[in-house]
Amino acid sequence: MKFALALAAATALALPAAAAAATSNDTVGGIELPSADITTTGNFAGIAGGDLPGYWFAQVVHDPLVYSLNTPTHISGGSFTLLTTTGSTVSDTITNGSVTPTSLPSSCTNQTFTLALTLNNGSFNGVLTHLRILLFGSCITYFATVTGTATLTT
């Protein structure tokens, strides 16, 4: 009986323990990149700092933007990829979310949106800023930036 207990204990110690999931928090900043259909797809890239520092890319699939204060536009999917400075890659799927105008300037100044993404294994929350300029009588968005935080479970 003692031998059976000792054998069971030794076997249990020899088995690898299941790795516990780790939650990582990063501060991210980046820009919006051109895409074939910018009305329903946003491509973003930038730098992450924090628990998993590195470079990130996200492709966000959304309904056409609603330009009504505090009225969210539905995000239906996409992908989020982080290449860490240690060489590992964290890839995740965007399952849903929203982008919501928080300012509707009457003049041609920058416009801000909250950005909330739910990932299979985490989340992204931030601010999207459309940089705008008055050009030949029309207000043109010429660039966009994004800042926020990413929480990833790896």
**Does 67 fall in a domain?**
yes
Q: 111-149 pLDDT, tens per residue?
A: 999 999 999 999 999 999 999 999 999 999 999 999 999
**Does 28 fall in a domain?**
yes
**Does 70 fall in a domain?**
yes
Q: Determine the length of the chain.
A: 154
**Does 4 fall in a domain?**
no
Tell me how far apart the alpha carbons of residues 152 and 23 are, in angstroms, rounded to a whole number: 6
Q: Which parts of the chain register pLDDT below 50? A: 1-18
| Percent of residues in the chain assigned helix, strand, coil, to nearest 5 | 10, 60, 30
Whether the pTM exceeds 0.85: the reply is no
**Does 3 fall in a domain?**
no
Q: Which residues contact 113 (CB under 8 A, 6 or more apart)?
A: 99, 100, 101, 102, 127, 128, 129, 130
Query: How many domains is the chain partitioned into structurally?
Result: 1
Q: Do 72 and 66 meet the contact criterion of CB atoms below 8 Å apart?
A: yes
Domain range holding 94?
Answer: 21-153
